[in-house]
Structure 1
Amino acid sequence: MEIALRPEIHSYSGGLGILAGDTARSCADLELPVVFVTLASRAGYLRQEIAADGSQVAHDDPWNPAEWATPLDAMIAVGIEGRSVWIRPWLYVVTCPIGHEIPVLLLDTDLDQNAPEDRRITDRLYGGDDVYRLKQEIVLGIGGVRLLQALGFSIGTYHLNEGHAAFLTLELLRRRQRSDPGANRLAHEVDHVRDMCVFTTHTPVEAGHDRFSYDDVRRVLGADFVPLDELKPLAGEDRLNMTRLALNLSGYVNGVARRHAETTKRMFPGYRIAAVTNGVHPVTWTHEAFARLYQQILPNWGHEPEVLIRAEHLRDEDVWAAHKAAKHDLLEAIRRSTGVAMDPDVPLLGFARRMTGYKRPDLLFSDLQRIRSINGRFPFQVVMAGKAHPRDEEGKQLIREIHDWMRALAPGIRMAFLPNYDIALAKTLVAGTDVWLNTPQPPLEASGTSGMKAALNGVLNLSVLDGWWVEACVDGITGWSIGRDGAEEAGQHADALYAKLEGQVLPLYHQDRARWVWMMKQGIAKIPSYFNSQRMMRRYTTEAYVRP
């Protein structure tokens, strides 16, 4: 549904889209024969403004495909509510530094041939009601398969990145049945579709799994596309569950971290769920000061990030100088955006996520008196960023409360909230903080990747043991854990966070700079050398795409 290609193309909302963009960049680096399909999302997701009272104000965030992509001379139609809805693709090309190119197709229904209501189907990312989302996912899945064929692509494997694309399995199934209409062939055709499909699920949160009423499906898609007596055993008896449809029609299924795969097995028992832990694209997320440093001693680090294991041998003064440059850029961005002047010599904690309840951006503020006490002994600063979905009232309330707490803690503790979190701001944030804070409610963090990006820049992680951090945390070496096994309650996690800040993290920064820099080098060597999208795509290629 989304992909983050560049800041000016607003076809993404958060982590899922950022990961898709990193995947495309690594496919280009590795010269893999891959084509990406997504929606144009001309109106974008949202542009965030923060009002004087700390409330989020959501604005449209449109972009013009003609400025960044090329319209292709091909159109196909899908049936929606009995009408032919025409789809045209825009082509954006991802190019790696050595020249290999990966095509990205952005599907667009804003065409003169379509009725006014149909022109808006690909308009707004994650907007509208269930029927609007259903239409979008028909365009993505069914329309995507048809356009690939119309453009002459020969597809051996379809990789569904989240359940939003699951209708492509029905299109493949329908084509097989038409080509071989013999009786009692359904099981055979299902097996054939499974052989062609790979499914990655990204969320352990129930609200993240799209479900549609069968009445809406029959009315919008048509009763004859796939008969309900064939569809319900694949997608659920009561409602069409897009995740279950993808699970049943994919031959390889994976979660995005080891713990997430375990959680998914509990949510959907009876399915074989592999684990391919997410990674990030190293060149994209490394500050130029660190990139120059790596290039001097590890000239192939961008293409083979596993060589970063040798970062332990970097000179301390070089690592600290690169960090100071990255932190300077962030402090300037904070000053320009909010007017808050941060101190470069005081440790800066960063938190940037989608603002929603289970991410717990409020955990740090559980006890304001405790925060003041810690700051009195070991001064620190905080920078935060993140958008709430326009329909997420809890997330919007959290943004208001965070601003209230920041005002209550001023002027003793410098704090800032940067509006309109996007790719460009994320690059600055993950590079320039001293500590990257992550406090999700276990087991609801599927993977998370922002901490991986921070580690590329020597930023130390302080995180609840969930998602990818379970695999990467060596406490006191690559960063720090909050709690022991991730099973603690929110109050226990708050106490553990304060204890770790007061007892280990902040004293180390203030009192033992040599050990701090040693940990920075440990983080660089042990995290991005493994948690990168090159390794991720090599695993998908050998384990998911090429199967016996």
Structure 2
Amino acid sequence: MKALRRFTVRAHLPQPLAALERLSINLRWSWDKPTQDLFQTIDPELWKLVGADPVAMLGHVSPERLEELAHDEHFVARLAALAADLDDYLSRPLWYQQLAQVNDADSGAAPVLPNGIAYFSMEFGVAEVLPNYSGGLGILAGDHLKSASDLGLPLIAVGLHYRSGYFRQSLTADGWQHENYPLLDPQGLPLRLLTDAGGETVLVSLVLPDSAELFARVWIAQVGRIPLLLLDSDIPENDHQLRSVTDRLYGGDQEHRIRQELLAGIGGVRAIRAFTQIEGLAAPEVFHMNEGHAGFLGAERIRELIEAGLDFDTALTVVRSSTVFTTHTPVPAGIDRFPVDMVARYFGADPGGSSSRLLPGVPVERILAFGAEDDPTKFNMAHMGLRLAQRANGVSLLHGRVSREMFNNLWPGFDPAEVPIGSITNGVHAPTWAAPQWLELGRELLGTQDLSSLQEPETWGRLHEVDPGHLWWIRSQLREALVHDVRDRVRRSWLERGAADAELKWIATAFDPNVLTIGFARRVPTYKRLTLMLRDPERLRRLLLDPERPVQLIVAGKSHPADEGGKALIQQVVRFADQADVRHRIAFLPDYDMSMARTLYHGCDVWLNNPLRPLEACGTSGMKSALNGGLNLSIRDGWWDEWYDGENGWEIPTADGLADENRRDDLEAAALYDLLERAVAPKFYDRDERGVPTRWVEMVRHTLQVLGPKVLASRMVQDYTERYYLPAARALRQSIEPGVETEGPFGAARELALYRQKVHKAWPNVRVVEVDSYGLPDTPLLGSELTLTARVCLEDLRPDEVTVQAVLGRVDTGDALVNPVTIPMTHSGKTDAGEDLFTASTPLPVTGPVGYTVRVLPHHRLLAGDNELGLVTLAG
């Protein structure tokens, strides 16, 4: 008979072992191997059985074993040392605290450090025991938190607690993906409940249509120094329908989805307010949206400021100044869009008023305007994110360019290159993803247990000291461990699919620790082209079975439950891998998660990535492989486009722009086979007298040295801090100060809000009346001086409220300026007609066909840039 409900009961810990509770509940154990080793010592078999989960271990270990350990002086001493190390980690000054001592290059003073940063994401991949992630977005968010902790950032993260997580994947007998949603007991996870001083559970609530109210409690996952707040609607205070709001990650229809995003954004801000008040922490100054899912947080912050006495536009100015938006999608289809009518219903006005019931004081039409797009029936979450954030970025250099083109319509009149969306290339958390052997080698080379200097290129340069044979020994160890793991997983999968044990003797010798091993593991949307490797099945078969230079291929990945096309791709791979002649050389491993991923990154010699360029925003799986000495074999997309150098792997030539998709796939698949056959395999199997592939190992060494310091999430988080968090905190504090023309708190924000209103009103009548040029000889030469004078009608704007620029450069056959330079023009007086005169002189910067124009942009000291408002007037 089945239990109605399950819950976890933990054993009482003897006093000498009390610190085990603290070590188990802080997820730092997930990247601290000494702590993992301590828990494994309690019961190695049980540790394996519970999936290396300290909380589960304490829920299953016998009281007798705990009493035995309590009298084990060596174990108690190890426990005390690790508890002291955790305390030291949580309290000592780290990089962020040291920043306060560094003088700002511009001002000469210490930089403005945010008192706190709020980081919102719909998924977090911190550890496999907390399955709140589906793929790269969540793993990236988890690595962001871990590195923020290692660097000492005062960051608070916010997401949802999904009672069933994403899903567990298995395969049917015919290779079709089957989803299973296990119920997760939060009391059996490394979580604690947010309670008030009296021990009562804290609830946040949202008013929904028809006067329904959605309540959520808040679970806290402690990720080193970083609290991760997870909102949970599965509580008795909600009716049955609302209890299911947080049931699954990326499940349900649009109604379900918008409720999740309202809870994440609006409820998330309210959870932060409750948490910081109870914990006595400073309120966050900077808010970072990891994708647009939690975009409604900006509307909630506006409501707070209106309630505090600000008008809407001043409140918006304050919110924008302190908000960062990161986009991860390179295609419009990847953006969450809701029917405008649905959004209007959730933010419906009070009877007889225009203010929202959900957000009192906030006009409904202003909320709808945040998500406006070309289709008037749709509300675009990415557009809202961009309109609510003064700073925005993509997640690689290439993705930044793609994003500027994709969102160019929000800045009409600007070339894509001028759209104010930057880029910070993603990174990965080394202690989580690097194999213990590589971390131990790092400690040996550094002569210390402290790996914080991994961010320095000089540290990686010490790999020159390591014998090639030792590097190859590490790689071979990791490949052998992978092979054993793959055999176990293949056996379990075949048994789940209905095979008898007697049929599976072949698995004992399947895969070979000495064969070139290629990994391909990721989510399975169509653009990632899981089956490109099967484009020519016979050619792939020849590669796998080559008698001299064989290849073995490990494939894994989950398709979204609603994506029948993705499931069909998985089935194609499974059916090929099931064939008796190749099943010892290729396998599809079901239920891809962080644990499997780690083993794959450690053991694969080559990491394969063949998306349709440029649809991979970043693609951090290849970074994790590189961190373990794996060589990338990839289309030039995402991070690989900027960091491939010809010696750290191989570039698969791409047939970009080819209209015939089948022809494109044929060409790129053929290029992949050619590289494997003529470049990759020969290097791997070309050995010296010691059996070491010297050319291969030198590529491994080069990969570690060049990519090691670049792919780190610590580098990424430092980039976010210096380029976005610090400027956002500075902008917020400036907005709170008295303005130049307005007094009192928030005077500067009020001044900027009034300026925005003034500019938007005046701009339709701003025009460049005439442009004259002087000074050029009859035959202009490179460096000849060009003087431009522009007569400009500024309507009601002052000259200091605009920037007038001459734009000069080479022109193409359609007279479009190509890579132009901009030259500020100086105000030089007024005409008799009241127009303003602006002049500039500049040497001609290029040869060939050259052209120029003049443009006018808004300018204010509190704008992040003159392009921020998306307003520009061009001559002509």
TM-score (norm 1): 0.95
Identify if the C-alpha distance between structure 1 residues 503 and 88 changes in structure 2 by more than 3 Å, giving closer, same or farther. Answer: same
Who is 1:295 aligned against?
A: 443
Who is 2:471 aligned against?
A: 319
Who is 2:390 aligned against?
A: 251
Who is 1:541 aligned against?
A: 721
Larger RCO (CA under 8 A, 6+ residues apart): 1
SS at match of 2:246: coil
2:454 to 279, 304, 313: 304
Deviation at 1:319, TM superposition (A): 1.2
1:38-49 aligned within 5 A: 38-49=159-170
Who is 2:329 aligned against?
A: 203
Contact kept, 8 Å, 1:25 with 1:94, in 2: the verdict is yes
| Counterpart check, 1:238 vs 2:377 | yes
CA distance in 1, matches of 2:295, 2:147: 24
CA distance in 1, matches of 2:185, 2:460: 39
- 2:285 maps to a residue whose letter is G
| Counterpart check, 1:171 vs 2:310 | no
CA distance in 1, matches of 2:580, 2:624: 29
User: Structure 1: where are the runs of 5+ without partners?
Assistant: 96-100
SS at match of 1:361: coil
CA distance in 2, matches of 1:501, 1:495: 10
- 2:268 maps to a residue whose letter is G
2:710 to 526, 530, 535: 530
Deviation at 1:471, TM superposition (A): 1.4
CA distance in 1, matches of 2:609, 2:148: 28
- 1:113 maps to a residue whose letter is E
2:227 to 103, 109, 118: 103
CA distance in 2, matches of 1:302, 1:440: 34
1:129-168 aligned within 5 A: 129-151=253-275, 152=277, 153=281, 154-168=283-297
Deviation at 1:369, TM superposition (A): 2.0
CA distance in 2, matches of 1:486, 1:473: 18
Contact kept, 8 Å, 2:516 with 2:605, in 1: the verdict is yes
Who is 2:775 aligned against?
A: none
Who is 1:274 aligned against?
A: 422
CA deviation profile, 1:48-72 (whole Å, cap 9, x unmatched)? 0011211111101332221220011
SS at match of 1:494: helix
Contact kept, 8 Å, 1:91 with 1:105, in 2: the verdict is yes
Who is 2:517 aligned against?
A: 348
Contact kept, 8 Å, 1:289 with 1:325, in 2: the verdict is no
Deviation at 1:208, TM superposition (A): 2.1
CA distance in 1, matches of 2:303, 2:245: 23
TM-score (norm 2): 0.60
Who is 1:494 aligned against?
A: 669
Deviation at 1:201, TM superposition (A): 0.6
Who is 2:136 aligned against?
A: 15
Who is 1:75 aligned against?
A: 203
| Counterpart check, 1:505 vs 2:680 | yes
Deviation at 1:277, TM superposition (A): 0.1
Identity of matched residues, % = 38
1:335 to 484, 487, 491: 487
Identify if the C-alpha distance between structure 1 residues 487 and 296 changes in structure 2 by more than 3 Å, giving closer, same or farther. Answer: farther
Identify if the C-alpha distance between structure 1 residues 129 and 484 changes in structure 2 by more than 3 Å, giving closer, same or farther. Answer: closer
Identify if the C-alpha distance between structure 1 residues 412 and 31 changes in structure 2 by more than 3 Å, giving closer, same or farther. Answer: closer
- 2:485 maps to a residue whose letter is A
CA distance in 2, matches of 1:309, 1:210: 44
Who is 2:572 aligned against?
A: 401
1:340-489 aligned within 5 A: 340=507, 341-375=510-544, 376=546, 378-408=549-579, 410-411=581-582, 414-475=585-646, 477-483=647-653, 489=664
CA distance in 2, matches of 1:252, 1:385: 36
Contact kept, 8 Å, 1:458 with 1:524, in 2: the verdict is yes
| Counterpart check, 1:517 vs 2:697 | yes
Give the alignment's Cα RMSD to 1 decimal.
Answer: 1.7
Identify if the C-alpha distance between structure 1 residues 116 and 484 changes in structure 2 by more than 3 Å, giving closer, same or farther. Answer: closer
1:86 to 191, 210, 215: 215
CA distance in 1, matches of 2:183, 2:700: 39
CA distance in 2, matches of 1:393, 1:283: 36
SS at match of 1:120: helix
Contact kept, 8 Å, 2:332 with 2:406, in 1: the verdict is no
Contact kept, 8 Å, 1:309 with 1:529, in 2: the verdict is no
User: Structure 2: where are the runs of 5+ without partners?
Assistant: 1-121, 196-201, 350-355, 412-418, 492-506, 659-663, 688-692, 731-876
CA distance in 1, matches of 2:481, 2:583: 23
Deviation at 1:372, TM superposition (A): 3.1
| Counterpart check, 1:58 vs 2:179 | yes
CA deviation profile, 1:198-218 (whole Å, cap 9, x unmatched)? 000111133321111122123
Identify if the C-alpha distance between structure 1 residues 123 and 302 changes in structure 2 by more than 3 Å, giving closer, same or farther. Answer: farther
Deviation at 1:487, TM superposition (A): 5.3
CA distance in 2, matches of 1:49, 1:75: 36
Contact kept, 8 Å, 1:282 with 1:305, in 2: the verdict is no
SS at match of 1:158: strand
CA distance in 2, matches of 1:125, 1:419: 19
Contact kept, 8 Å, 1:54 with 1:403, in 2: the verdict is yes
Identify if the C-alpha distance between structure 1 residues 129 and 104 changes in structure 2 by more than 3 Å, giving closer, same or farther. Answer: same
Which protein has the larger Cα radius of gyration, Structure 1 or Structure 2?
A: 2
CA distance in 1, matches of 2:260, 2:699: 46
| Counterpart check, 1:260 vs 2:378 | no
Who is 2:55 aligned against?
A: none
